[in-house]
């Protein structure tokens, strides 16, 4: 859909992390076609759109209605070259086909949860507020955090919390959740906080940061299928790039970063032949090169003004 001016309730606040570095690495061609797969408040998109001229075009994708509204207002001055779509970036190929676009010059993904989502108590993303368990990035979907907490088996909860939260007390937290919901459904973030707190030894609670941080992260990732979507989308993104086109991805925890690093390396060197083979016979051809051998990290200046950038890492791949 094209941009139109809309009213916004709560202001969509989000500071774009590694903004200057991302724009530099994207190496924007003024008449190129670019995709921002995680539009958010439109920070990266605004900078991209400002560098486009002539036939240059930006497609902004986000599944959050509030993000679409906020970015629409922010990008209004570039409306003639910007198209916003409320969807999941996993559907980028279909979205581009519907727009009559075959190949693109660059893609940006900022995988962090926006400050708006974290700070809006009603969304249920944060353990800092006592509100209904939700955590849906797309509020059109049926599955919520409340469904996961009350509907998953103890074994399923354990694997979610262990795998996605890397929480050492995952087994005990899962057990406490299942025991607590026997009396009544767990409906709020506050109730879940107390259950998690009771499942973690007091001395660990005193030194390990907020006791709910890892479990809330894990449930959010499961609720929105974040890692599954990322894994399924990376090859498609790279296939859609024109020669010389770049994909820039900002991750915020080790699970995401590992997926991106592995995918980029595989697309750079897909050969499956044994190392001692004199020539390649598998027929797998490199799709490009990894630009960032080590991830780009926030500067000391950025860390000083935006604490949420602390765990951010930028990786870049260029299509051959």
In terms of DSSP bridges, do strands 241-251 and 313-319 run parallel, antiparallel, or are they unpaired?
A: antiparallel
**What is the structure's pLDDT at 13?**
54
**What is the structure's pLDDT at 278?**
84
**What is the structure's pLDDT at 124?**
85
Chunk the chain into consecutive blocks of 10 residues (it has 320) and report each block's average pLDDT, rounded to whole numbers.
Answer: 38 75 98 96 96 97 93 95 97 98 98 76 85 94 97 98 96 98 96 96 81 94 97 97 98 96 96 86 93 97 91 97
**What is the structure's pLDDT at 11?**
53
**What is the structure's pLDDT at 276?**
85
- Give the Cα separation of 49 and 46 in Å (integer): 5
Return the sign of the alpha-carbon dihedral for residues 143, 147, 152, 158: positive
Domains and CATH numbers, the chain: 19-116+227-319 (3.40.50.150), 140-224 (1.10.150.170)
**What is the structure's pLDDT at 295?**
98
Q: How many of the other CB atoms lie within 10 Å of CB of 175?
A: 15
Q: How many of the other CB atoms lie within 10 Å of CB of 145?
A: 23
Q: Which residue has the tokens 């080790």?
A: 254
**What is the structure's pLDDT at 7?**
35
Q: What kind and span of H or E run contains 260?
A: helix 254-268
What's the pTM? 0.91
**What is the structure's pLDDT at 30?**
98
**What is the structure's pLDDT at 210?**
87
| Of 5, 71, 75, the residue nearest 39 (C-alpha) | 71
């Amino acid at each position: 859909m094209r941009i139109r001016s809309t009213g916004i309730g709560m202001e969509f606040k989000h500071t774009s992390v590694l903004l200057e570095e991302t724009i530099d690495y994207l190496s924007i061609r003024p008449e190129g076609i670019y995709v921002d797969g995680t539009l958010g408040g439109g920070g990266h998109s605004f900078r991209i759109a400002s560098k486009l001229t002539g036939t240059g075009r930006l497609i902004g994708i986000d599944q959050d209605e509030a993000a679409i509204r906020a970015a629409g207002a922010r990008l209004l001055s570039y409306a003639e070259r910007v198209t916003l779509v409320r969807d999941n970036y996993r559907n980028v190929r279909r979205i581009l086909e519907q727009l009559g676009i075959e190949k693109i010059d660059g893609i940006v993904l900022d995988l962090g949860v926006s400050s708006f989502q974290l700070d809006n108590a009603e969304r249920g993303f944060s353990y800092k507020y006592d509100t209904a368990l939700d955590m849906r990035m797309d509020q059109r979907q049926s599955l919520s955090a409340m469904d996961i907490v009350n509907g998953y088996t103890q074994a399923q909860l354990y694997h979610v919390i262990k795998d996605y939260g890397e929480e050492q007390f995952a087994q005990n937290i899962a057990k406490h959740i299942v025991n607590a919901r026997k009396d009544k459904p767990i409906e709020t973030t506050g109730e879940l906080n107390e259950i998690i707190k009771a499942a973690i030894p007091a001395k660990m609670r005193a030194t390990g940061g907020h006791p709910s941080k890892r479990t809330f992260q894990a449930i959010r990732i499961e609720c929105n299928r974040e890692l599954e979507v990322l894994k399924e989308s990376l090859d498609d993104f790279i296939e859609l790039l024109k020669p010389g086109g770049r994909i820039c991805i900002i991750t915020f925890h080790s699970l995401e970063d590992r997926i991106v690093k592995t995918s980029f390396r595989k697309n750079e060197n897909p050969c499956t032949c044994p190392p001692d083979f004199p020539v390649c016979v598998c027929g797998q051809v490199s799709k490009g090169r990894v630009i960032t051998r080590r991830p780009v990290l926030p500067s000391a200046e950025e860390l000083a003004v935006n604490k949420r950038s602390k765990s951010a890492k930028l990786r870049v791949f260029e299509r051959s």
